[in-house]
Structures are given as structure tokens and as C-alpha cells.
Amino acid sequence: MRAFLLTASLVAVSTASAQRAVEYGTLVSSTLGYGWEDPRGAVPLERDIARFASRLNCRVNSFNGLLNCLGRQGWDLAVTYQDASTTTSGRVTAQVFVFKRVR
């Protein structure tokens, strides 16, 4: 019984240390522009990719360059989906990219 309790306590400790805190960020590419939000706050929509990327500390001028820059910052793509809605100003289509990284 004693050996079992020792083994169980070691497993519990190793499992607890294996759990990592993660944070999530959301990148939106829509007909209105590009936007970003993470735990530190939101970057408002911007139509120009280079200006938008610079707000994320990325010096790029393409969407693929932006994705690569986010990867270098430790962000991993978790899921992506497309959203379409109709607003008073017309139809808005958005591609949403959800990223996560270990803190």
C-alpha cells in the first residue's frame, strides 16, 4: 500500500508540473481589414497589412509574412474558421485564426 501511495503521489506531482499556462490570441482577416486581440488588449481593424503588422511588432507586407512573424513570437495556430454576417453596411466575411502560446 505504501508503494502505491508513493507512486500515486509522484504521478500527481509530475502531472501538475506538466500542465502549462497558455494564452490565446485571435487574428481576424475580414472585408473590413485585419484585427488582433490577446490578453494584453486589442489592435483595431486596419486595412493596410503592413501598418497592421507593425502594430504587432512585425515588419512584413503580406499575410503569409504576418503568420510567420506570429510563429516566431511563439504563437501556434490552434483553429481557423470562416464567419459571414450581414450588417447595416452590408455583408461582412471574416476568416478567424485562433492562436495559442505557452506563457
pLDDT band for 6, please (50, 70, 90 cuts). very low
The pLDDT assigned to 20 comes to 83
Is residue 7 included in any domain, yes or no? no
Domain that includes residue 80, residue range: 21-102
CA dist 43 and 56 (Å) reads 8
Is residue 28 included in any domain, yes or no? yes
Is residue 2 included in any domain, yes or no? no
Is residue 34 included in any domain, yes or no? yes
The pLDDT assigned to 2 comes to 53
pTM of the model: 0.75
Say if residues 96 and 46 touch (Cβ distance below 8 Å): no
Is residue 10 included in any domain, yes or no? no
Instruction: Report the number of distinct structural domains present in the chain.
Output: 1
Beta strands in the chain (DSSP E): 22-30, 33-38, 41-46, 76-87, 90-102
pLDDT band for 15, please (50, 70, 90 cuts). low
User: pLDDT digits over 29-85, tens only?
Assistant: 998 899 999 999 999 999 999 999 999 999 999 999 999 999 999 999 999 999 877
